[in-house]
Every structure is written in C-alpha cells, then in structure tokens.
Amino acid sequence: MEKIDETTTDWTHIIKLNPNSKNINLRFLVLDIKQSRHVFSKSTGKENELLECIVGDCSGIITLVLWNDDIDSIKIHHTYSLRNGRINLYDECMTLSKGSIGQIQEFENPIEDVDKTVDMSKPFMGYPKRKPKPRSLTGRSFDGRAGRNIRRFCGRKSF
C-alpha cells in the first residue's frame, strides 16, 4: 500500500456528504472495526466477506463498508484516504464504500481530532428536514376548499 501526499487532492469532509455523492475524495481515521460476516450474492451465487468500520474526520463519523480483499488492508487507529468513493443507501442509512473504481491508501499525516457527535450513518441524515404542513381544525384547507375527509375521500393516514 503506497502513501500519498496531502497537497495533491481536494478533500471532502464527512459532514458535506449526501445520498447522491459520487467520486468522493476523503481522509479518515478508522475508529472501530466490527466483526466480519459472510453474505451470498443472489446474482452470482458466490459467497462474499463483508466488514463494516466506523470512520471519522474533524466534521463527523460514517460507516465504511468493505468487501473481500479490502478487509485486510484496514487497521484500527490508522489514517487512510479514499479516492473515487461513493455513498450507498441501505435502510435509509448512508454508508461509504470504495466502489468499483475507488482506491483506499494509507495516509501519511494522522488525523488527531474526530467529531463523534455527528453520525452521518443515522437514517435520513443526508436529507433536509421537511416542514410540517399547517392543519385546520374544521377539515377545510386554508384557502376555503373542503378537505379530503369532508368530500368523502380517504386521507393518506386512514389506510
């Protein structure tokens, strides 16, 4: 595994990631490595090894998913760089992965401080907050029209 120079790439912070992020260049510190597990691919029928790591930088933490050969290259409390990584959504939670064209390399300068308060792997973390719609007590909308229940249509919550 070769080491890279800090000045060659424009790095992204974890807090700036969203579900549509692609070609991510990221520096991170491995905080925790979970137990690896074996999963079967439905399309190929092959058994793959899967490992989830908690990684972080100065802005937050996120879960990194590693497959097969990449598992042996990661050690806890070491700093790495990810080039051309991508974000995957699994159960509405963002996970970081290397992807097919990504590269994980050891990084020379260690990351000292990690913000563990912002976890980008929580459900719906990358989405903006929705504003609740105002509701009327009389069943009518605020422009005077009758609401769905008064017109004998079911509302979305009555199923």
**How many other C-beta atoms lie within 10 A of the C-beta of residue 95?**
17
Domain borders along the chain are 6-106
Residue 73 has pLDDT above 80, yes or no: yes
Torsion of CA 105, 110, 113, 115, to 10 degrees: 0
What's the CA angle centered on 18, arms 17 and 21, to 5 degrees? 80
pLDDT category, 1, cuts 50, 70, 90? very low
What's the CA angle centered on 140, arms 157 and 155, to 5 degrees? 15
pTM higher than 0.85 = no
The tokens describing 153, both together, are: 């249509």
Per CATH, domain 6-106 is 3.40.50.720: no
